[in-house]
Structure 1
């Protein structure tokens, strides 16, 4: 693409023919012109910066958005809307990129919503040209930053169907932008209801099982985290979501593991999820993560342990893992991360209801727990933990 702020004469030709001396290119262009040329500011050494582009109109495989005619004022968006379905593909690409520049302004974005420009993008999502598909998804992502934009996207069933199809596009960049767009839309609970009803959870779970790049995978997990509430949890469990998330715990990228743990925390808050955690022996895997993972991974793993150890059978399994209670105590005494401390204290409270764990913690770590510094929001959780640890079920007279 050419640059509107190019400071050298004929910078486009110089960039395309880097092996030729720039002075030769300048002289050749001057000789080819029919009219006499006047020395301008770009002839100086060093050249001055230009205000506008003066590059020649040379056909190329790229669409130069800086050279397209654009209306201003109240006529700009209607003109661009008409150009979205122009017969010239370059005009369509230029219109899409110009809209992407304008929609960053919230006032222009709401004006575009009134003109129903998102509805005009439905068929462009499946255009044969990859640049058109990519720019269309990018433009929808800009609309998805607004509440009304999310609503406009989910109200159009054709947009949703075609947007789901772009998740399997052959171009990685399009799949990435499509995943980011859906993640933005799923943040709104009103839009998330529609996404769940249209089967997005099942689609994302199928895509996660494929060999997707980590960046795309991370967006899919973020979207699932927003969608898995109420009936969304049951849908994910029904389509082997628990098994899929457990596989991701062995992923080489820590951020992917953290997102998978966050999704598991949502599933283990259900009755069926707690049962699956016991059957899959999830506690052993979580114990490794809180020992060798970073702070974010420990926080996410502790949240899953908190939900996994509610049932009696899970407390028995936790008591068999000797290093679990000790590690949770170490994490509980860290006041620098409030969320990590809260999850660790609550998980420790659950497993301390087992008599053997409670006795070990009381004999070896009671003084450490009593003196640990906690955030004011975690003070009540600390009080409950100390009550459980100090509780004696039977005291002889």
Structure 2
């Protein structure tokens, strides 16, 4: 019995060794032949196009962007998203004509291609050379056509790319010259909240250059509607844009016509400091006119403005003091503000901000003025 068992174990060991040797032999034979394995090398992402070496990388990607094969275009765009984070590669991309290829891909029928194309353009717009390329290659208008795309990510990337392009002086001019302000304002009423924030930032940049198109597009009404939004960042940016739009006289008049002031007064008591600061800033600008002064006083803006004099946020204190100064120019406002003289004197003695101290002195002078 023992011999039989021993013989059996020896047979098993022999069979295992033979099988193992056979596998090793087959591997050696495979390595010795010219046959290439079908397996991908390790650390290779099959969703991205493999990059060529050195200066050949971007020309190869550009050829693949223009390929008739969908998967080739998609993989090239995936790889390009990584490559474009380097500003030096953006310069090289411009030389080989990648921007022109991306412009054609904006109208591609495949949503993934459109999404990744807008993402690449957004990355490029993060660099000054990329923003310049937007204008030189007339990217803004075909990009703006995707504002109506059925895919949310495509629309979001398109808006982000446009917004990023307005971060340097030529960008806002390009948006204004393309007559996109009306379209952007209309999208504020119907778009998702994330896109609304991007649009508000774009309009903020553009209104530094020109406010006429925004006024013609009823932007004041759209901004006023967003003052009651649930998201604090949207309330803050809407109040900021109202301030931008109110710098010209027509903007101040529009704020009075659209009943914007009562909504801003409500925000003076908002839980978020940035919202309070921007609301006070908007009132500061609107109340420069006589109509704005009296509408603000009628809306009971003075009590919450006085409360902001003790706000922890320096911008909120500064804007509140300046708003109080303009309101004190009206006789009824000056009479109501007599109670803050001591508080303004205390601010002059204790505040750490030179701008706030200077504004407090000016406010005190206006409030204590006598004919």
Q: Is the 8 A contact 1:80 1:95 kept in 2?
A: yes
* Cα 1:317/1:208, change in 2 over 3 Å: closer
Distance in 2 between residues matched to 1:174 and 1:134, nearest whole Å: 5
2:140 aligns with 160
Q: Provide the residue aligned with 1:198 in structure 2.
A: 178
Contact 2:246 2:285 in 1 (8 A): yes
8 Å contact 2:309–2:317 — kept in the other structure? yes
Moved over 4 A (4+): 35-38
Q: State the shift of 1:349 in Å.
A: 0.4
Q: Is the 8 A contact 1:265 1:307 kept in 2?
A: yes
Q: How far apart in 2 are the matches of 1:218 and 1:177?
A: 13
Counterpart of 1:340?
316
Q: Once the two structures are superposed, what CA deviation does each residue of 1:163-183 show, in whole Å capped at 9, x if it has no partner?
A: 011111100011111111111
Residues 239-263 of structure 1 show CA distances to partners (whole Å, capped at 9, x for unaligned) of 2111121112222212112111111
Whether the aligned pair in 2 keeps the contact of 1:154 and 1:195 (CA below 8 Å) is no
Residue 206 of structure 1 aligns to a residue in which SS? helix
Tell me, yes or no, if the aligned pair for 2:50 and 2:79 is still in contact at 8 Å: no
Structure whose alpha-carbon radius of gyration is higher: 2
Rounded Cα–Cα distance in structure 2 between residues aligned with 1:148 and 1:53: 32
Does 2:47 align with 1:65?
Answer: yes
Partner of 1:87: 68
2:74 is equivalent to residue 99 of structure 1: no
The 2-side partners of 1:269 and 1:173 are apart by 34
Q: What's the RMSD between the two structures over aligned residues?
A: 2.2
Task: Tell me, in whole angstroms, the C-alpha distance in 2 between the residues paired with 1:114 and 1:53.
Answer: 30
TM-superposed CA distance for 1:117, in Å, is: 1.2
Equivalent position to 2:215, from 232, 237, 253 = 237
Q: Does 1:318 align with 2:331?
A: no
Q: Which residue of 2 aligns with 1:356?
A: 332
Secondary structure of residue in 1 paired with 2:247 = coil
Where does residue 113 of structure 2 map in the other structure? Answer: 132
Where do 1:208-357 residues align within 5 Å? 208-210=188-190, 212-230=191-209, 232-322=210-300, 324-334=301-311, 336-357=312-333
CA distance in 2, matches of 1:164, 1:123: 14
Match of 1:150 among 131, 143, 147: 131
> Where do 5+ consecutive residues of structure 1 fail to align?
1-32, 39-50, 55-62
Report the TM-score, using the length of structure 2 for normalisation. Answer: 0.84
Deviation at 1:184, TM superposition (A): 0.1
Q: Extract unaligned runs of 5+ from structure 2.
A: 1-22, 29-40
| Structure 2 residue 42 is matched with structure 1 residue 52 | yes
Counterpart CA distance in 1 for 2:219 and 2:115 is 29
Query: How high is the TM-score relative to the length of structure 1?
Result: 0.79
Q: Which moved more, 1:141-150 or 1:113-122?
A: 113-122
Report SS of the residue matched to 2:176: helix
Residues 319, 354 of structure 1: 8 Å contact kept: no
The answer on whether the counterparts of 1:325 and 1:348 sit within 8 Å (CA) in structure 2 is: yes
Contact in 1 for aligned 2:280/2:319 (Cα 8 Å): yes
Contact 1:140–1:181 (CA<8 Å) still a contact in 2?
Answer: yes
Describe how 1:177-192 pairs up with structure 2 within 5 A: 177-192=157-172
In terms of fraction of residues, the more helix-rich structure is 2
Q: What is the Cα deviation at residue 391 of structure 1?
A: 1.4
Contact 2:239 2:264 in 1 (8 A): no
Q: Is the 8 A contact 1:333 1:369 kept in 2?
A: no
Give matches, 1:24-39, under 5 Å.
Answer: none
1:390 pairs with one of 341, 344, 368: 368
| Per-residue deviation, 1:208 | 1.6
For each residue in 1:54-78, what CA deviation from the matched residue of structure 2 results, as whole angstroms up to 9, or x when unmatched? 8xxxxxxxx9235x43211111111
How many Å separate the matches in 2 of 1:195 and 1:318?
34
